[in-house]
Copies of this chain bind each other. A is one copy, B any other.
């Protein structure tokens, strides 16, 4: 929780909390932040010009191999949450994102996911193909912002 805010401009996705995402405690169910992180990843891919369906058509899957979430304040029904994300690290075989979820100025949750690059058919590890390396480079560049 004490980790410094990542550098560079994040990619922001807005998510409205749905009824079914809350639980009997009256707050967003804890597993749902991982769903929100996924929504943000899919929107980042789209913003970079390669929708998730096209990634899959190219025979690539990017499964999470690790996920972490820290819960700071409860999200609630109908909240408009902003999910900010940063590419943290990108290698030939894996990459990771960090996330911050906010409601206005309030920090709701932070997270991190690490992803493998695998062939969609048999889930075998792959080296990132050129277009994916280039795309991850742009994800990082986007965050570094103009210089």
Contacts and interface: CB of A to CB of B under 8 A. Distances in A.
Interface of A: 16, 18-20, 22-27, 29-32, 34-35, 38-39, 42, 51-53, 56, 61, 63-71, 74, 76-78, 120, 123
Most chain B CB within 10 A, of A56, A63, A67, is at: A67
Report how many copies the assembly holds: 4
Contacts of A19: 23-25, 29, 38, 42, 52
Chain A contact residues, majority secondary structure: mixed
A10 to B, nearest CB: 20
B24 A74 contact: no
Nearest to A41: B19
B38 A18 contact: yes
B35 A34 contact: no
Given A42-B78, A68-B68, A123-B74, A63 B18 contact: no
